[in-house]
Structure 1
Amino acid sequence: HGVALNNLLTANRMTTSTIIYPGQKLTIPVKGAAPAPAPAPAPGGLVPSTFLGYQYPDRVVADANANKALLNSLPAPSPAEMKQIVADTARSMGVDPSLALAFAFQESSFNQRSVSPANAIGTMQVIPSSGQWASELVGRKLNLMDPYDNATAGIAIIRSLVRTSPSLDIAIASYYQGQYSVQTRGMFEDTKHYVAAIKAHQKNFR
């Protein structure tokens, strides 16, 4: 499809450790001529169809809209309650709570009903394929629609990236850009901004 590997990994929120299952469908981003000043409404109107200049396939956006509608229909923790869930989950999993909180704040501002055009779901913005990987990391099936499982999924991924990356900066960058892309291409400019934002948030949560 003429799509660079790093773009494919970024669009699908994957790392080199992400398990791709037989028959699994991947998002193939189409680079727009220029980033749109504001996201265009997607069919369904709940989730935009573009992000950082990428136009996501109708199928992916439709799935995102379906998940957004489902999350809107479910009870959800308040941001303060979600913040506590993330902190408690991080402690129980041996991850620095300030780091987990920084990711949750950057990704969704502790909003469990958040869904991106790439179909990244919930507080930790985990796409379904990464949710499958996180399930394997923790040894049980995780439901990304559940606030506790969503926190567990994101924190399991953070824990794995921290353990397998040569530095914290690389681990942070890998959550955003993908571990393989960071290792082979280095950090892109937007990734550098993301890393700086996470580290700034982490200081605020200490």
Structure 2
Amino acid sequence: MVIALPPATVPPAVLVPTTVSTHSSPAPHGWTSYTVKDGDTLIGLAATFRTTPRALAAKNHISDARRLWAGSTIQVPGRAGSTAKAGPRATSRSAGSHTVRAGDTLYGIAARYGTTVPAIAKANGISPRSFIYPGQQLRLSGAAGPSQGTGAKASSRAKSSSAAYTVKNGDTLLAISARTGRTVSSIVKANGLRGTMIYPGQRLTLPGTAARKSAPQAALPNTFAGRTYPDRIVQNAARNREILAGRSVPTRSETKALIKATARRHGVDPRLALAISMQESGWNQRQVSVANAVGIMQVIPSGGEWASSLIGRKLDLLDPEDNVTAGVVMLRALTRAAPSEDMAIAGYYQGLHSVTTRGMFTDTKSYVANIKALRGRM
């Protein structure tokens, strides 16, 4: 949950241009073939080929932009004087950096430097769906060299034991983890996910045994939703994670019963509370984000203080019952204050003030859709 997410430097509408063509025709030099790569999107390809997402979708009969499969062939505008197969030109640039400018997106940057969004995300410790902002420095190398002697072999073993999975309609990380023998946390970490939100057509890396057994990195991750957090917050999150690792926590069935009972007690739709918790933590009290969002309902400390003022007593976010209470009473306050249920759900994720003043960010809209889909299955 991002109940107090710091505002982005530039509104997302500036970061993800919907129209980039300067021509009256979407393809003034005709159309040519292009093979879709991992991380490609209609928006990114439109920026690369100086057309619009709408024109690409119409030309290729694409009704769902999320179903842009890596390896498939689509038609894109040709370039002046070009007879060869079009595509983002690979560059000879190796490891370097890029300073984000207004209007940049991860997809456009990847196309410009002949790399992929997952590679840039991995090199910078961010999610492929993270917001970026003008002035931000991005590393362009997606590969980390081995640290000593046998590092290359260890990396090779980790890769050979990993696998890929394409998300289907109705999938959740919990279901995927149960079906593939991986843990939710390992899948989240392997893919740099923000929480547990996934969508149909998304390709996930499923870490193997070697990846799961590897030693923790010396440096703690400190980036969440494209924002870098101070050492104090990151260290507090690590400490809370360590405390919860040594505590007994309720089972999934016990957690479900606790959420339902607490929601009913406070006049909140139990299915909505269950859906939000499933999306936020997978009903897992040990889940702690780098932004120090804690537990079953993923409540950050300032959110806990707000919830404490609403309930009239100090809530301990490390306690499962108090954590659920905090999330439920905040959800109750949001549903009462927001003009619509969608706005209330978005407020739990983005912050109601931000939603009201800026509108829903792109990932917030996906979050709302996921919550409503999950609620229908509760």
1:30 CA drift (Å): 9.0
> Which residue is equivalent to 1:63?
236
Q: C-alpha deviations, 1:133-155, integer Å up to 9, x for none?
A: 10110111111011000000000
Contact kept? 1:124, 1:151, Cα under 8 Å: yes
1:10 aligns with 2:21: no
C-alpha change, 1:177 and 1:69, in structure 2 (3 Å) is same
- Structure 1 counterpart SS, 2:336: helix
Aligned 8 A contact 1:138 1:156 in 2: yes
Answer yes or no: is the 8 Å Cα contact 2:294–2:318 preserved in 1: yes
Q: After the TM superposition, list the runs of 4 or more consecutive aligned residues in structure 1 that deviate by more than 3 angstroms.
A: 29-39, 41-45
The reply to whether residue 124 of structure 1 matches residue 297 of structure 2 is yes
Partner of 1:153: 326
Q: Which runs of 5+ in 1 are unaligned?
A: 1-6, 13-28
Aligned match of 2:159: none
The residue number in structure 2 matching 1:95 is 268
In structure 2, the partner of 1:164 is 337
In structure 2, what is the Cα distance between the partners aligned to 1:173 and 1:187?
A: 7
Q: Distance in 2 between matches of 1:84 and 1:44?
A: 37
- TM-superposed deviation, 1:79: 1.6
Cα distance, 1:129–1:177 mapped onto 2, change above 3 Å? same
Question: What does the per-residue CA deviation read over 1:37-71, in whole Å, with 9 as the maximum and x for residues that have no partner?
Answer: 637x77576xx422233222211110000000011
Instruction: Pick closer, same or farther for the CA change 1:34–1:178 going to 2, 3 Å.
Output: farther
Partner Cα separation in structure 2 for residue 11 and residue 43 of structure 1: 27
Which 5+ residue runs of structure 2 have no aligned equivalent?
8-130, 143-190, 194-215
The answer (yes or no) to whether the contact 1:42–1:61 under 8 Å persists in 2 is: no
- What is the alpha-carbon distance in structure 1 between the residues aligned to residue 217 and residue 240 of structure 2? 13
Further displaced range: 52-61 or 129-138: 52-61
Counterpart mapping for 1:1-206 below 5 A: 9-11=4-6, 33=137, 38=192, 48-205=221-378
Task: Name the TM-score, length of structure 2 as normaliser.
Answer: 0.44
SS at match of 1:195: helix
Identity of aligned residues (%): 51
Distance (Å, rounded) in 1 between the aligned partners of 2:218 and 2:234: 8
Larger Rg: 2
Which has a greater percent of strand? 2
TM-score by length of 1: 0.80
CA RMSD of aligned residues (A): 2.6
Give 2:85's aligned residue: none
Judging by fraction of residues, say which structure has more helix.
1
